[in-house]
C-alpha cells in the first residue's frame, strides 16, 4: 500500500534511498580491486612502490575523495535507517535528517579533500 504522503521520485527519501543503494554497490565493486592491489603490493616490494606512485595521479586523488564521500554517505544513510527503525521517527523530521546525513557525508569528503592539498 502506498502512503498518501509519498511523492515518488521527487521525495527526498527516494534520493536518500537511491544514494544509499548506489554507494553500497559502488563500494562492493571497489573492495575486490582494493584487495587485489594490496595483495600485489604485499607480494613484491616494487609493486608497492608502483602502486604508491600511481596513487599520486590527480584522477586517483579525485577518486579517493569520491570514495570517502561514498563511504560517509553509506554510513550516514545506514545511521538514518537505524533512526527510522528504532527511534521515534516523526514524518516532519524526514527532510532534516536526510539533509543532515547528506551534509555529514559532504563534510567528510571536504575535510579529506582539504587534507590532500
pTM reported for the whole predicted model: 0.82
Calpha distance 86→53 (Å, rounded)? 46
Query: What mean pLDDT, rounded, does the chain reach?
Result: 87
pLDDT at 2 over 80: no
pLDDT digits 0-9 by tens, 61-100: 999 999 999 999 999 999 988 888 887 776 667 788 889 9
The DSSP element (H or E) to which 11 belongs, if any, is none
pLDDT at 87: 79
CATH architecture of 10-116: Up-down Bundle (1.20)
Task: Tell me the domain boundaries of the chain.
Answer: 10-116
Sign of CA dihedral 14, 16, 20, 25: positive
CB-based contacts of 24, cutoff 8 Å, min separation 6 = 74
Amino acid at each position: 500500500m502506498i502512503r498518501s504522503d509519498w511523492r515518488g521520485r521527487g521525495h527526498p527519501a527516494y534520493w536518500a534511498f537511491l544514494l544509499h543503494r548506489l554507494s553500497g554497490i559502488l563500494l562492493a565493486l571497489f573492495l575486490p580491486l582494493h584487495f587485489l592491489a594490496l595483495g600485489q603490493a604485499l607480494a613484491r616490494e616494487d609493486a608497492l612502490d608502483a602502486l604508491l606512485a600511481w596513487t599520486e595521479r590527480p584522477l586517483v586523488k579525485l577518486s579517493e575523495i569520491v570514495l570517502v564521500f561514498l563511504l560517509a554517505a553509506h554510513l550516514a544513510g545506514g545511521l538514518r535507517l537505524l533512526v527510522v527503525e528504532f527511534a521515534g521517527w516523526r514524518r516532519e523530521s524526514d527532510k532534516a535528517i536526510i539533509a543532515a546525513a547528506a551534509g555529514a557525508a559532504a563534510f567528510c569528503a571536504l575535510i579529506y579533500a582539504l587534507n590532500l592539498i
